[in-house]
Structure 1
């Protein structure tokens, strides 16, 4: 039987991922919270800035006027959430403040315990 010469070749395969896997903690995770402070009534928002618990009109910083939009927002877990107060007439309600995606809006929730907020992948 006659043998034929076969030139040696190297065959390689390229790995192409067919699924995206995130391996970086909370990246791409969002908090879901409802903008509900004041129940739709207009008021003012102050930020807790003087380090003393409770609202002090001359110590905490006025942020803006506010009216709840009632929307459930998706906010990135890396966003800044501030402690504050929703004030309407003589009623003061502790809130968590989120300034929106552009950092210029005011959204407040009365659910101030962020560990209880729903999380979802964006």
Structure 2
């Protein structure tokens, strides 16, 4: 049996993606939370700033007066959410505070565990 010489060849293949894959992680996600602290009654909001658990009127920083709007807001997962307290008379409620898209408003929720918040694509 006689063997035939076969010239070696190099075959290249070009990768062409056939599916779009987004690699932006949480950039495009938003938290959905309800502005509900105080149940619609006016009060004051203080930020937890002295690193001592629980509200201290002389140790925590006053932020603003507050009245819950009852609206479910969409806030970017990249935004800051601050620990704070909603205070009305002698009643103190721990809250998460979001300052809004421009950082100049006060929105509070009594659901303080962010891991339990609903998320969605923006």
1:100 aligns to what?
A: 100
State the distance in 2 between where 1:34 and 1:46 align. Answer: 19
Q: Which stretches in structure 1 are left out of the alignment for 5+ residues?
A: 1-14
State the distance in 1 between where 2:18 and 2:74 align. Answer: 28
1:109 aligns to what?
A: 109
State the distance in 2 between where 1:109 and 1:86 align. Answer: 9
Matched, 1:23 2:2: no
- TM-score norm. by structure 1 comes to 0.83
Runs of 4+ in 1 over 3 A off after TM superposition: 17-21
What is the total number of aligned residue pairs between the two structures? 107
1:85 aligns to what?
A: 85
1:44 aligns to what?
A: 44
1:61 aligns to what?
A: 61
Give the drift of 1:27.
Answer: 1.1
2:10 aligns to what?
A: none
- TM-score norm. by structure 2 comes to 0.83
Q: Which stretches in structure 2 are left out of the alignment for 5+ residues?
A: 1-15
1:3 aligns to what?
A: none
Change in CA separation of 1:117 and 1:66 when aligned onto 2, cut-off 3 Å:
same
